[in-house]
Amino acid sequence: MNEKVLIVGAGTGLSASIAQLCSSEGMEVALAARNIDKLVSLKKEINAKTFKCDASDINEVSSLFRELDQSFGIPNLVIYNPSSRIRGAIGDLDPKETQEAINITCFGGFLVAQEASKRMLKNKKGSIFFTGASASIKGFANSSVFAMGKFGLRGLAQSLARELHPQNIHIGHFIIDGGIGKSSTGYKLINPDSIANTYLEVHKQDSSAWTWEVELRTNEETF
C-alpha cells in the first residue's frame, strides 16, 4: 500500500517541491491551505487532494482530519509549513496581529501534531515534521514576533520527539537557515528541491538512528 503525506500550509514554494517529490516516490499527497485556489495547478500535476483549512483554528484543524479520515486515510507523514512574519519595533507592534501571527506559526503546529499523533499512535507509526527558520535559533532586531513563533515551534518539536519517539512516531524539525529559491542574484539561495530531498531522507531513516533536527544552509552562509 502506498504511503500518504499531508502537507499543511501548502503553496508554490518549498511545499510544492516536497509534494512533487513525494508523488514521484509513489506517495499519495494531500494539500491543506487557507487558499486552495493557488493549488489548482499542483493538484492537477500530481493528482493530489486539496483541503481548505486555517491551521490556526481549532475547529478547522479538527474538521480537516475528520475529512482525511473519510476521504484520504491516515497520513504516514505530516508536514507543518505555515508561518506568519510581522516586522517592527516592539513599541509599534499591534498585540492582536502579534497573537494571530504566533497562532499561525506555532499554535497551529500544536493543533496539527495533536490530531496527527492521535491517529499515528493507533497505527503505531508515522512522521510529523515542522519547518523552522533562522529565527528558530536566532533572534533578530525588529523580528521578535517571528522569533517567538519559531522558537515555540522548535520547543514543541523537541518535546514531542522525547514524548513520541519511544512510541515509534518520528518527529523532525528542519531549520532552513537562509532564503529559499532556485535562482539568485548576488546571494545564494537554498534550492527547495534539495530541502525536499532532506525531508524525505529523514522520513525514511531507520528507527535505530533517527534525527529530530536538521539545520540546512548554503555553503556560503556564515552562521
66: domain CATH number?
Answer: 3.40.50.720
206 part of a folded domain = yes
- Residue 35: predicted pLDDT: 95
DSSP 3-state assignment of 206? coil
Assigned domain for 223 exists = no
Residue labelled with grid coordinates 502506498:
2
Is residue 221 in some structural domain? no
- Output the CA–CA distances (angstroms, integers) from residue 90 to 30, 69, 141, 145, 151, in the order listed: 38, 43, 9, 9, 17
In a domain, 176, yes or no: yes
Residue 67 has which C-alpha cell?
475529512
pLDDT along the chain (223 residues), means of 10: 94 95 98 96 97 98 98 97 94 96 98 98 97 95 96 98 98 95 79 97 98 94 73
Question: CA 86 to CA 93: how far, in whole Å?
Answer: 8
Is 100 domain-assigned?
Answer: yes
In a domain, 143, yes or no: yes
pLDDT of residue 110: 98
3-state secondary structure of 216: strand
Q: Is residue 175 part of a domain?
A: yes
Q: Pick the closest to residue 196 from 73, 38, 27 (CA basis).
A: 27
Question: Is the alpha carbon torsion for 157, 39, 196, 66 positive or negative?
Answer: positive
Given a contact cutoff of 8 angstroms between Cβ atoms, the answer to whether 117 and 159 are in contact is no
pLDDT for 185 equals 66
Domains held by the chain: number = 1
CA distance 50 to 29: 9
0.85 exceeded by the pTM? yes
What per-residue confidence (pLDDT) applies to 184?
65
Instruction: Provide the grid cell at 116.
Output: 496527527
Domain residues for the domain of 183 are 4-216
